Structure 1
Amino acid sequence: MVQLLLKADMVRDLPQTDAGQAFYFDTQTQGLGLRVGTRKKAYFAEGRVGGKKRRVTLGNTDQLTLADARKLAKKAVAEMVGGTDPNKVKAEQRAKGMTLGDAVDAFLSGRDHKASTAANYRNTLRRDFGDWHKRELRHITPQMTLDRFNKIMKRTPSGAALAMRTFRSCWNYARELTADQDGVPVLHDCPVRRVTALKLMPKATRRQNHITDFQAWFAAIDVAAGQARSHRHKNAGENFRDFCELLVRSGLRKSEAANLQWADVDFKGRTFTVAAERSKNGQPLTLPCSLQVLELFRRLRERHVEGAYIWGIAPLGDPRKTLVRAREALGEPFSFHDARRTFAVLAERLNVNYPKLRRMMNHADNDVTLGYLASRDPERLRNEMQMISDEIDRLTDAAIA
């Protein structure tokens, strides 16, 4: 820190720093300082409140004259001497004016979310709290939140839990964002706390559905695919059938399979890759093709001679209506994720060891030791991938026999 008599031309001519910040204190006005960074220069006032040093920015030098900065500094220092913390006042003002919509925007822009994740957050909050988006957070009470929770619970317990978790994430981020200089929140605790304190939040239940009758499942897929052939996309039925088969034989997530491109398929090396930007955990995954999956890719290549995606010129759309037809033909509900779950169930029955299975499912490496054991060489998984596809064929043929 350098103390000197600040002058307008001196402030103007001081060079920007190459890195970090330089601080200068005015010898004429107590508490007035100048902060010089790599791109900007700004006046600030420094004082103490309750024995703690406080520094408040007054304005950039290109927007505030030195004379005005001296006046503002005297006022700010006097307020600090009187016990007023200007940074806390600013934090309270930010919290006072922040609406739920502001909190949602801040949370989604301040965190590195995938586009699909951000869209899910917005859709959930718009559906369940759309009428609160212009309401200031400080006016949202625990009882209001409890009433909204009970309303959503009547429609869907799992949806109520999702809504509360999403709401809480945005609230807590906003609470930290509006905290004072010491990191002390000025916004009250998230009102979802009342729901959890009363132990009303429904416990998450993991779905256990998986395919048990492959002959019936494939037959239902064929029925739905046949009905989809009249769709405006001439290959909709065949694509649906191959999409379902790819899911159960590869263990891919729906979005990973739907966005697979020809650049991701290596016919010579007999592998396919889920790129990092399209995987759930942000890690790339290269898996060997079983003979059945390799044949599936060849069918798709013959069908789609144009386009970057294995489904044509675009990723596979959401075949929701065709899925409904498949459910009707099967006579019981199932989801695309049931195919991925079935892949894991078959792997476990075939005694695929845990590090390999986790690698095949592309789950995050939370265990350091197991992370060392999970080789990224796709050839180490070729036998296991083939075993699972062969078991699917065996179970299908056994049902037919």
Structure 2
Amino acid sequence: MTIGDTEVWTVDQARQRARELQSQIDQGRDPRQVKRERIAADTAAMEEAKNNAEPALIAWHAYIKARSGKWRERHIASHEGMSRDGGRPVTQGRRIGAPAFTEPGVLRPLLDCPLREITRTRVAGWLSAEGARRPAQARLALSLLSTFLDWCSNQSAYKNQVNPNACARLKRDLPKPAARTDCLQREQLAPWFAAVRAINNPVISAYLQVLLLTGARREELAGLGWGDVDFQWKTIHIADKVEDAGRTIPLTPYVGQLLQSLQKINKWVFASKRAKSGRLQEPRKAHNQAIKTAGLPPLSIHGLRRSFATLSEWVEAPSGITAQIMGHKPSAIAERHYKRRPVDLLRVWHAKIEAWILTEVGINK
């Protein structure tokens, strides 16, 4: 072994160091191995200090990358939205009085802290503030955070930093979510259709009507492409939230007329020349104005889906039929494992539902 530079070490210092190394040899230790172990320990200590100081956001991104192959796009988007940095200009769908810049994701204040500092006390304080301001978001965020911490506790890089019980039993402190009940009643159909059909933008007008007449989810329908619509065999294929393969529903007569009336601008059925994505992004402003014009109580976009489920009972459509059209997850064992109705059977009832609604509205197909 080289003890040191002769320009730096004196002879006495070198002799002292040689005696120390000889002492290690006398104890059966190889000084070279002792040196390697010391360097490795120092490196590990520095790495641990670095990991303890870096924000949990680093581990969060590693978590998303590791798990995204098993997640649906919607679930990935939820995680990314929860951790966004905020501060970006709001260019679409900005409501009156709303901030001009995006807020940080609901989990961002916690993820900016080192993983070791995400303690039960800190999470409880965060939940108290967020739960009062946006309880639904806070409930989802707490669930995602708990799963993330469980993952970290099983990773060698993070298990010594994480507090795996930081979220335990905190959900009970949140108020129970109130079920929304906004829904179009039978007598409200005519004024709603009149106001929506009068919307200047034909894409938004058609989109809102198709939402009501199919019971589809907002993003499912907004992401409909021309390749998903079969005018010959009268079907629509929808990218389902629950089923990976999507679902196929009937293309009913009036919905078919609405879609055929739209101009083919790009691959999207509900296309937009202004949106970066090329498709409809924000129909709420036009819908809210139509609701106001019709003199109707407030109705959310999701309320149109709820309306389809409710109005279908007027024709006594079987609940399983309505659920399959809407893409609801089957609840009964028979529905989950045995009943898979062909689209022709769905068409019989879907056409009845559409015909009844149009009769109430006074629209002659």
With normalisation by structure 2, the TM-score equals 0.70
1:162 equivalent in structure 2: 140
Question: Is the partner of 1:286 in helix, strand or coil?
Answer: strand
1:24 equivalent in structure 2: none
Matched, 1:310 2:269: yes
Cα deviation, 1:71-126, whole Å, max 9, x if unaligned, reads: 59x969xxxxxxxxxxxx9x988985673202321332222334443233232344
* Number of residue pairs matched by the alignment: 298
Code of the aligned partner of 1:370: E
Q: Does the Cα contact within 8 Å between 1:288 and 1:379 map onto a contact in 2?
A: yes
2:311 equivalent in structure 1: 346
Code of the aligned partner of 2:205: R
Matched, 1:146 2:124: yes
2:64 equivalent in structure 1: 108
Question: Is the partner of 1:273 in helix, strand or coil?
Answer: strand
- CA distance 1:369–1:331, change in 2 (3 Å): closer
Distance 2:207 2:192 in 1: 13
1:117 to 75, 78, 83: 75
Quote the offset at 1:247 in angstroms: 0.6
Q: Does the Cα contact within 8 Å between 1:281 and 1:363 map onto a contact in 2?
A: no
Matches within 5 A, 1:81-92: none
2:260 equivalent in structure 1: 298
Distance 1:266 1:190 in 2: 51
Quote the offset at 1:273 in angstroms: 0.9
Which has the larger strand fraction?
1
Identify unmatched segments of 5+ residues in structure 2. 1-31, 39-44, 84-103, 273-277
Question: Is the partner of 1:128 in helix, strand or coil?
Answer: coil
Cα deviation, 1:138-184, whole Å, max 9, x if unaligned, reads: 1122122111112113323323323322322322222233489xxx9
Question: Is the partner of 1:307 in helix, strand or coil?
Answer: coil
Q: Does the Cα contact within 8 Å between 1:271 and 1:287 map onto a contact in 2?
A: yes
Quote the offset at 1:397 in angstroms: 3.5
Matched, 1:322 2:322: no
Question: Is the partner of 2:233 in helix, strand or coil?
Answer: coil
Quote the offset at 1:391 in angstroms: 1.8
Code of the aligned partner of 1:107: Y
Matched residues, percent identical?
21
Distance 1:95 1:188 in 2: 15
Matches within 5 A, 1:179-194: 187-193=162-168
Q: Does the Cα contact within 8 Å between 2:189 and 2:360 map onto a contact in 1?
A: yes
Cα deviation, 1:276-305, whole Å, max 9, x if unaligned, reads: xx64432321111221112112212xxx14
Code of the aligned partner of 2:312: A
Distance 1:346 1:289 in 2: 18
Matched, 1:207 2:180: yes
2:232 equivalent in structure 1: 268
Q: RMSD of aligned C-alpha atoms?
A: 3.4
Distance 2:219 2:149 in 1: 29
Quote the offset at 1:331 in angstroms: 4.3
- Structure 1 window deviating more from structure 2 (320-329 vs 378-387): it is 320-329
Distance 1:177 1:368 in 2: 37
Distance 1:124 1:327 in 2: 31
Q: Does the Cα contact within 8 Å between 1:145 and 1:191 map onto a contact in 2?
A: yes
Which stretches of structure 1, 4 residues or more, deviate above 6 A after TM superposition? 91-95
Kindly indicate whether structure 1 or structure 2 has the higher relative contact order, using CA contacts under 8 Å at least 6 residues apart: 2
Distance 1:320 1:286 in 2: 26
Matches within 5 A, 1:370-385: 370-385=335-350
Distance 1:366 1:104 in 2: 33
Quote the offset at 1:215 in angstroms: 1.3
Q: Does the Cα contact within 8 Å between 2:223 and 2:268 map onto a contact in 1?
A: yes
Q: Does the Cα contact within 8 Å between 1:270 and 1:289 map onto a contact in 2?
A: yes
Distance 1:174 1:390 in 2: 54
Quote the offset at 1:395 in angstroms: 2.6
Quote the offset at 1:254 in angstroms: 1.0
Matched, 1:99 2:99: no
Distance 2:320 2:123 in 1: 43
Distance 1:380 1:94 in 2: 62
1:254 equivalent in structure 2: 218
Identify unmatched segments of 5+ residues in structure 1. 1-69, 77-88, 230-236
